[in-house]
Amino acid sequence: MPDQPQPPVNERFKAEMPQIPGVGETSPKGGGPQQGALFVVGGLAVVLVAVFVGGRLLSKSRRADLPVAPTAQIDIPASAPQVPDLPAPVATETDPVVAQVGDLANPWDSRQFTFRNRVTGENVPALLIRLPGGGAGQSGGYWALAMKAAYGTCQLEFVPDLGRLKDDYGYGRATHAMVGNPCSRTVYDPLKYASIPGGALARGAIVQGTDLRPPLGIEVRVKGKDIWAVRME
C-alpha cells in the first residue's frame, strides 16, 4: 500500500470527540425563522405588559382627580311634637260643665278651668280639686276656687308637693296638698273652713301668711256624669 500521509506529531495522540447530533453544531448565520419568531413573540409580550401597567397607572391617576363623593346623609326625623294640653273648659251660664265624673279619680287630683263671671263678664282662672273622703258623684267631694287672690292681683297655685311647701313657703307642717299665694307666702288649707264677713264659712282657711281671707269659692254641682261650676262668691 502506498504510504499514507501521517498527521503531525501533536495530533497523533489527540482523542477524537464523539459527535452528538444537535450539539456543537454551528447554527446557520442569521438565526433562522425560529429565532425570529421568538423575537416577535417576546416583543409583543413586552408591549402588552407596558400597555397593562400604563393603563393601571392612568386609571389610578383619573380616580385621584375625581371629586370625592359626599358622605350619604341620613335625615333623622325630628321627634314628634308633643300634643298641647287641651284648653281649659269655660264654665258659662248656658254651659257650666267643667269636667266629667271620673276625670279626677284620686284625692287631690285637679283640673283647671275658666269661670265666666255673669255679674262682671270677667273670665276668671279657676281650679277644681278632688277632696279626700268625698264620693266622686257627690258635690261635697270637690272644691272649686278662683285662682286669683281675693284682694290683689297675684295668681294662686295648687301645691301637692310637701317638700316644695317647706322649701318655697317655709311651711313644714303640711300633711296634704295646699293652695299657696307665692307673692305673700300665704298657705291655705283645703280641708279647713274660716269665717268671712257676713257670718258665712269659706273653705281654705289660712294656716300661714298675711292674706285677709280664703280664696273665692265657686259652687260645684254634680249632674249625672257632669260636674258643673255654677256660681262664684
Answer yes or no: do 97 and 129 share one domain.
yes
- 64 in any annotated domain: no
Range of the domain at 154: 149-214
Split at pLDDT 50, 70, 90, the class of 160 is very high
Give the list of residues 6+ apart from residue 101 with CB closer than 8 angstroms, or none. 136, 137, 222, 224, 225, 226, 227
Q: For residues 1-31, b (16+ Cβ closer than 10 Å) or e, as one string?
A: eeeeeeeeeeeeeeeeeeeeeeeeeeeeeee
- Can you tell me the distance from the alpha carbon of 104 to that of 177, in angstroms, rounded to the nearest whole number? 15
Answer yes or no: do 153 and 101 share one domain.
no
- 230 in any annotated domain: yes
Grid coordinates given for 134 = 268625698
Handedness of CA 164, 169, 174, 176 (dihedral sign): negative
131 vs 8: which has the higher pLDDT: 131
Answer yes or no: do 208 and 229 share one domain.
no
- 1 in any annotated domain: no
- 17 in any annotated domain: no
Computed over every residue of the chain, the mean pLDDT equals 80
Answer yes or no: do 93 and 121 share one domain.
yes
Answer yes or no: do 133 and 223 share one domain.
yes
- 103 in any annotated domain: yes
Answer yes or no: do 229 and 129 share one domain.
yes
Beta strands in the chain (DSSP E): 90-91, 97-100, 110-116, 123-130, 142-146, 157-159, 178-181, 186-196, 200-208, 217-223, 226-232
pTM for the model: 0.64
Residue 65 is predicted with a pLDDT of 52
Query: Of all residues in the chain, what percent carry a pLDDT higher than 70?
Result: 63
Answer yes or no: do 96 and 109 share one domain.
yes
One-letter identity of residue 201: L
CB of 229 closer than 8 Å to CB of 113: yes
Answer yes or no: do 125 and 175 share one domain.
no
Answer yes or no: do 169 and 207 share one domain.
yes
- 72 in any annotated domain: no
Answer yes or no: do 192 and 179 share one domain.
yes
Number of structural domains found in the chain? 2
Answer yes or no: do 160 and 125 share one domain.
no
- Can you tell me the distance from the alpha carbon of 60 to that of 102, in angstroms, rounded to the nearest whole number? 76
Answer yes or no: do 210 and 233 share one domain.
no
- 43 in any annotated domain: no
The secondary structure of residue 155, as a DSSP letter, is B
